[in-house]
Amino acid sequence: MGSAVSSALLTQSGVFLLALVRVSGIFLVTPFFAGPAIPARVKIGLSFFLAVILIPLLGGRGTEALARLGDPLSLALAAASELAVGFVIGMAGSVVLGAIQTAGHLMSQDIGLTIANVIDPITSIQVSVIGQLKVALALFIFIGLDFHHAALRLLAESFRLIPLGALSERLFQGEGAARLGDLAASQGSTLFEAAVRLGLPLAVTLLLVTVAMGLLARSVPEINVFILGFGIRALVGLWLLCLSVPLLARTFGALFERAAADSARALRALAGS
């Protein structure tokens, strides 16, 4: 009797730990959840709380999956695959923030404000002021449009699509590796495309300003365009940024909606459906 109870408790503990690993994955990469402003103890507590809530969704599938994982190597591979599921859920949102940060850096280069860098509290690296401003606006949009709750709903859906321990058999084979490679390449191209599209209007406008100053210097050589150029480019760039804030808010919302759809498609691709 005692051995049966001990075996049942050990099995349930293993199921809970695998679920905890999957839940903790979203607290490592998902925007807002992965921010350093949230203390590590709070992240651990929320991961534990969410795992306790989501365990009933498994039914008996978690115990069945754990029964197939008898050796320590299989358990380690299963834990790595569960962490990958959490990464897939939050990575698309992180890619959007990366694209916004890159677009802000490109804008700072065009305006001439790259010397005024600040420390990003999320990544602890030096970033441009405009990039940090855009990331802050994007995080407000992320929370205001309830995408942080959408990530949690997608996490709950992942337990239905991908049972615990079921992904490790496909993840480290050709099928799972190929799908993850395609997803990574798609996210990388999305980052570059979104960054270029966000920074293109300002780049084109400042290019026209540069052409206009060149024509002015050609027609009126007495004017020192090099002295006036920096101030004019900065004023035009900042004025255009102020005008584009409402458009940026809608654009960021659309990018996060696309990221949520990409995360759902990625989960379905990993599940084989």
Q: pLDDT-based confidence at 169, cuts 50/70/90? A: low
Residues ≥6 apart with Cβ < 8 Å to 113: 128, 129, 130, 234
Per-residue CA distances from 241 to 44, 55, 142, 144 (Å): 39, 47, 20, 21
Which range (37-41, 182-186, 250-254) has the least confidence?
182-186
Q: What pLDDT score was predicted for residue 143? A: 86
Q: For the segment 236-269, what is each residue's pLDDT rounded down to a tens digit? A: 888 888 888 888 888 888 888 888 888 888 777 7
pLDDT in tens, 71-95: 666 777 777 778 888 888 888 788 8
Quote the pLDDT of residue 103. 83
Mean pLDDT of the chain, nearest integer: 76
* Residue 126: strand, helix, or coil: strand
pTM for the structure as a whole: 0.76
The residue segments making up the domain with residue 53 are 2-271
Q: What is the mean pLDDT of residues 170-194?
A: 66
Nearest to 97 by CA among 198, 22, 240: 198
Mean pLDDT value of segment 146-168? 81
Q: Is the pLDDT reported for residue 123 higher than 60?
A: no
Q: How many domains does the chain divide into?
A: 1
Asked if the model's pLDDT at residue 201 lies above 80, the reply is yes
State the pLDDT at residue 55.
79
The mean per-residue pLDDT over the stretch 55-84 comes to 68
Residue 5, pLDDT score? 44
Q: Residue 170 contacts by C-beta under 8 Å, 6 or more apart in sequence? A: 176, 270, 272
With contact defined as beta carbons under 8 Å apart, do 110 and 49 qualify?
no
State the pLDDT at residue 175: 59
Beta-strand runs (E) in the chain = 117-119, 126-128
Q: How many other C-beta atoms can be found within 10 angstroms of the C-beta atom of residue 180?
A: 17
Please report which confidence band the pLDDT of residue 162 belongs to, taking 50, 70 and 90 as the band edges. confident
